[in-house]
């Protein structure tokens, strides 16, 4: 009986597994297969020779990878620091104002990322909203912050803000007020409550928020293109170049695979450390 | 509503079933009742497609614009030859990649050769790159434009820019005062010309070092890199930069038509290949080797030779460009002086005479690697 039960489970999951296999795994398999093909071929009917991976090391493609991962890490840390107080407020303090905040943040997602970023370009550029007005009032201009690394990180923080904020708020909401009060009654300082109650109990939210923003930022392209003027080349840019101007699908696939493997490993490691069921709300 | 697992799976299966039906339905559509064009922006505008749709009631005419030649070619390579009927890309791609790989097919010479007679000098001979090595006609030219670099003439005079040519960007005083428009295949050609090399011959040894030096210097001194011509023109107009590497009437015309006539495409007076230093792009529209071809494809190709459509193609949304049919007085009369100024008609012929045809760069793969390494810094 027990065995039949588990089989029934598998059978009912079958349609979903097929859909997932087709929609999610198939493209990945194609990319993986292309990545081991000889360079500059456009079909899979060749003997694999892994030459595209060799190119990754020989031609310094680790540099864009470093920039992507580095900027993603910095932006994730900044996002965490910026979002924590706000998420805490949303989960524990603001009450009905939380809804206003949620709507305000979600509404920004209605406008395409590129348009929002171009809005920032128009705001920050020389002669733009800020510098133009400043010059009109004072007669003195100043250099725009565009086309430098910090502005790319600003762009990442700005675009991926909701992806950190909401999981974090969800995570903090899971911290029972009783636990915090008990800690306080027992003489814990605010710092101790944060470190020993809030952070560990909100861990699923922290992990989900950090993973989402890190993964998205590592594959981001528009921020470095629009705000950064490609002052550094990110890995997504190299992938795009390989597929288009380079007409080298295996190289583009190999670069994608390297990123997928690194991020996949991090995601699996991160998720294995927390109880995701807790945040999704399934009771055990 | 309470959502059970059973209901959830049922809905999911239904949606998946409907999704699978979609592509099947298409396979049964009669191909003479539809035509799909993959093109640069312009051919997909209502001004161009509207009258053709009116002339072919009942036919579904669809056009999609690509953002780069290789993007569009990738679609055909990825198996979309049975979707598209016409493809519109720059001249070397058709000859060097699409035709040899069997992605496009020859056009009917009897039907299309007469149209060359009404074209501008340089196209009327007829235009050599419209033909494959085996002599077949593989595409019809229409829009074109010199493509070298763009300056703000309030900061750098046209005369000085033409005189200095590509050396302008090697001048230490220009460091941090120019942008690089990242149309990579163009930049590689232009960096060869800057280094005094012929991009259309094999480059090796010393030549590669020269190219590397120029690529490092140009990327090193660039204030910004972008593949967005609007962003680049904006930076030029507001004084963020004074010039940009890789550009021409195609990129300057929207700003010029908007009143910023100080934005000007420049073609160098001299250069390393037969004394020429500029390059010109010429679009070819070719028939895709669709296994189930639509007869509307060649009809459309003939239709775009008409004066009104020529004008609509030249001045579609986005960018404004001259067309090879402007030798025909009926076509020419459609343009007013402001429009002619936007496409730099006053110097166009002279610029064309100083420009090389955009061809396939012989050592593209090696140069592309050096170029991308320089771009990554």
CB contact at 8 A, B245 and B218: yes
Mean pLDDT of all residues in B339-357: 95
If asked whether residues B249 and B103 sit together in one domain, one would say no
From chain A, pick out residues whose CB is under 8 angstroms from the CB of B365: 40
pLDDT tens sequence across A185-201: 999 999 999 999 999 99
Task: Please work out, in degrees rounded to the nearest 5, the angle formed at the alpha carbon of residue A72 by the alpha carbons of A267 and B67.
Answer: 100
User: What sign for the dihedral angle of Cα B320, B322, B326, B329?
Assistant: positive
pLDDT at residue A190, as a whole number: 93
In a domain, A123, yes or no: yes
DSSP character for B40?
A: S
CB count within 10 Å of CB B31 equals 16
Mean pLDDT of all residues in A33-43: 91
Mean pLDDT of all residues in A13-19: 92
With residues binned 3-state (H G I as helix, E B as strand, rest as coil), the percentages for chain B, rounded to 5, are 50, 20, 35
Closest residue on chain B to A22 (Cα): B16
Domain count within chain A? 1
Tell me which range, A73-77, B79-83, B119-123, is most confidently predicted by mean pLDDT. A73-77
| B223:A144 CB<8 A | no
| B225:A230 CB<8 A | yes
In a domain, B11, yes or no: no
Per the structure, the complete domain to which residue A97 belongs is given by 54-280
**Tokens 């280094």 found at:** B195
If asked whether residues B257 and B149 sit together in one domain, one would say yes
pLDDT tens sequence across B311-330: 999 998 889 999 999 999 99
pLDDT at residue B27, as a whole number: 46
pLDDT bin (cut points 50, 70, 90) of residue A28 is very high
If asked whether residues B103 and B128 sit together in one domain, one would say yes
pLDDT at residue B87, as a whole number: 95
If asked whether residues B201 and B269 sit together in one domain, one would say yes
If asked whether residues B158 and B226 sit together in one domain, one would say yes
What is the CATH number for A64? 1.10.3720.10
The rounded distance, in Å, linking the Cα atoms of A245 and A25 is 27
pLDDT tens sequence across A88-128: 999 999 888 999 999 999 998 999 999 999 999 989 988 88
pLDDT at residue B184, as a whole number: 87
In a domain, B208, yes or no: yes
Judged by a CB distance cut-off of 8 A, whether residue B33 touches chain A is no
State how beta strands B355-357 and B278-288 pair: parallel
CB contact at 8 A, B207 and B365: no
User: What sign for the dihedral angle of Cα B318, B321, B325, B327?
Assistant: positive
In a domain, B362, yes or no: yes
Element (H, E) at A204: helix A203-218
pLDDT at residue B376, as a whole number: 82
The rounded distance, in Å, linking the Cα atoms of B193 and A281 is 63
pLDDT of B25 over the 50 cut: no
Closest residue on chain B to A41 (Cα): B77
pLDDT of B370 over the 60 cut: yes
DSSP state letters, A211-235? HHHHHHHHT--HIIIIITTTSS--H
pLDDT bin (cut points 50, 70, 90) of residue B3 is low
In a domain, B40, yes or no: yes
Comparing CB atoms, the residue among A42, A127, A243 nearest residue B238 is: A127
pLDDT tens sequence across B264-312: 999 999 999 999 999 999 999 999 999 999 999 999 999 999 999 999 9
From chain B, pick out residues whose CB is under 8 angstroms from the CB of A15: 9, 12-13, 16
Mean pLDDT of all residues in B78-89: 93
pLDDT of A52 over the 70 cut: yes
pLDDT at residue B9, as a whole number: 66
Record the pTM. 0.81
pLDDT at residue A280, as a whole number: 63
**Tokens 């920050």 found at:** A124
* Separation in Å, CA B352 to CA B83, B120, B346: 36, 11, 12
Mean of the per-residue pLDDT values of chain A: 90
Q: Kindly state the percentage of chain B with pLDDT values over 90.
A: 75
Which residues in chain B belong to E strands, given as ranges? 34-39, 60-65, 86-90, 104-105, 140-152, 178-181, 222-226, 243-248, 263-266, 278-288, 355-357
In a domain, A10, yes or no: no
In a domain, B224, yes or no: yes
pLDDT at residue B66, as a whole number: 84
What is the CATH number for B117? 3.40.190.10
Per the structure, the complete domain to which residue B252 belongs is given by 145-279+358-376
Give strand pairing partners of B195. none
pLDDT bin (cut points 50, 70, 90) of residue A144 is confident
The rounded distance, in Å, linking the Cα atoms of A88 and A165 is 10
**Tokens 């039907």 found at:** B111
pLDDT tens sequence across B10-22: 776 666 655 555 4
| B377:A63 CB<8 A | yes
pLDDT bin (cut points 50, 70, 90) of residue A270 is confident
- Phi, psi for residue A160 in degrees, rounded to 5: -95, 10
Intra-chain end-to-end CA distance of chain A, in Å: 22
The rounded distance, in Å, linking the Cα atoms of A238 and A255 is 8
If asked whether residues B112 and B86 sit together in one domain, one would say yes
If asked whether residues B257 and B309 sit together in one domain, one would say no
Q: Which of B300, B281, B270, B297 is nearest to B127 (CA)?
A: B281
In a domain, A28, yes or no: no
pLDDT tens sequence across B178-207: 999 998 889 999 999 999 999 999 999 999
If asked whether residues B152 and B200 sit together in one domain, one would say yes
Domain count within chain B? 2
In a domain, A181, yes or no: yes
Shortest distance, CA A98 to any CA of chain B (angstroms): 27
Q: Kindly state the percentage of chain B with pLDDT values over 70.
A: 92
Distance of CA B109 to the CA centre of its chain: 24
């Amino acid at each position: 009986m027990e065995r039949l039960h588990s089989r029934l489970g598998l059978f009912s999951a079958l349609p979903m597994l097929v859909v997932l296999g087709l929609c999610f795994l198939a493209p990945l398999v194609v990319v993986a297969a292309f990545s081991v093909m000889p360079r500059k071929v456009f079909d899979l009917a060749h003997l694999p020779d892994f030459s595209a991976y060799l190119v990754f090391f020989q031609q310094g493609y680790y540099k864009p990878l470093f920039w992507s991962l580095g900027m993603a890490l910095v932006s994730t840390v900044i996002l965490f620091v910026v979002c924590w107080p706000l998420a805490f407020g949303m989960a524990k303090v603001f009450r009905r104002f939380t809804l206003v905040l949620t709507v305000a943040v979600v509404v920004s997602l209605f406008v395409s990322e590129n348009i929002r970023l171009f809005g920032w370009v128009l705001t920050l550029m020389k002669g733009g909203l800020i510098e133009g007005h400043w010059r009109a009032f004072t007669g003195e201009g100043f250099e725009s912050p565009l086309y430098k690394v910090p502005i790319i990180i600003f762009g990442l923080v700005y675009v991926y803000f909701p992806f950190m904020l909401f999981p974090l708020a969800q995570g903090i909401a899971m911290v029972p007020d009783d636990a915090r009060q008990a800690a306080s009654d027992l003489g814990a300082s605010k710092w101790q409550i944060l470190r020993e109650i809030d952070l560990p109990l909100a861990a699923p939210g922290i992990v989900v928020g950090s993973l989402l923003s890190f993964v998205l930022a590592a594959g981001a392209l528009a921020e470095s293109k629009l705000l950064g003027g490609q002052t550094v080349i990110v890995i997504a840019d190299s992938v795009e170049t390989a597929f288009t101007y380079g007409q080298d699908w295996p190289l583009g696939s190999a670069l994608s695979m390297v990123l997928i493997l690194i991020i996949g490993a991090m995601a699996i490691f991160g998720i294995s450390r927390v109880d995701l069921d807790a945040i999704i709300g399934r009771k055990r | 509503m309470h959502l059970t697992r059973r209901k959830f799976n049922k809905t999911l299966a239904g949606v998946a079933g409907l999704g699978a039906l979609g592509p099947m339905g298409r396979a049964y559509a009669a191909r003479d009742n539809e035509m799909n064009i993959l093109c640069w922006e312009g051919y997909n505008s209502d001004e161009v497609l509207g009258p053709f749709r009116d002339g072919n009631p009942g036919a579904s005419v669809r056009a999609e614009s690509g953002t780069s030649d290789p993007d569009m070619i990738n679609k055909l390579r990825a198996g979309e030859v049975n979707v598209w009927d016409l493809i519109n890309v720059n001249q070397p791609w058709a000859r060097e990649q699409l035709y040899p790989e069997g992605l496009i097919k020859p056009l009917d010479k009897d039907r299309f050769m007469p149209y060359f007679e009404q074209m501008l000098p340089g196209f009327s001979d007829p235009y050599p790159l419209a033909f494959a090595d085996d002599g077949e006609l593989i595409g019809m030219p229409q829009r074109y434009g010199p493509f070298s670099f763009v300056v703000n003439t309030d900061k750098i005079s046209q005369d000085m820019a033409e005189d200095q040519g590509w050396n302008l960007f090697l001048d230490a005083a220009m460091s941090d005062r120019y942008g690089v428009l990242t149309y990579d295949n163009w930049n590689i050609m232009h960096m060869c010309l800057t280094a005094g090399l012929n991009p259309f011959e094999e480059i090796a040894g010393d030549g590669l070092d020269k190219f590397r030096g120029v690529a490092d210097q140009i990327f090193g001194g660039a204030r910004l890199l972008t593949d967005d011509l609007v962003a680049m023109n904006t930076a030029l107009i507001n004084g963020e930069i004074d010039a940009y590497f890789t550009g021409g009437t195609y990129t300057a015309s929207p700003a010029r038509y908007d009143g910023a006539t100080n934005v000007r495409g420049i073609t160098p007076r001299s250069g390393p290949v037969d004394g020429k230093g500029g390059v010109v792009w010429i679009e070819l529209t070719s028939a895709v080797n669709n296994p189930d071809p639509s007869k509307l494809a060649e009809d459309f190709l003939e239709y775009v030779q008409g004066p009104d459509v020529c004008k609509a193609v030249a001045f579609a949304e986005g960018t404004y460009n001259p067309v090879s049919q402007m030798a025909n007085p009926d076509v020419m009369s459609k343009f007013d002086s402001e429009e002619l100024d936007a496409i730099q008609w006053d110097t166009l012929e002279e610029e064309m005479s100083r420009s090389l045809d955009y061809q396939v760069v012989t050592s593209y793969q090696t140069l592309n690697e050096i170029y991308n390494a320089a771009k990554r810094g």
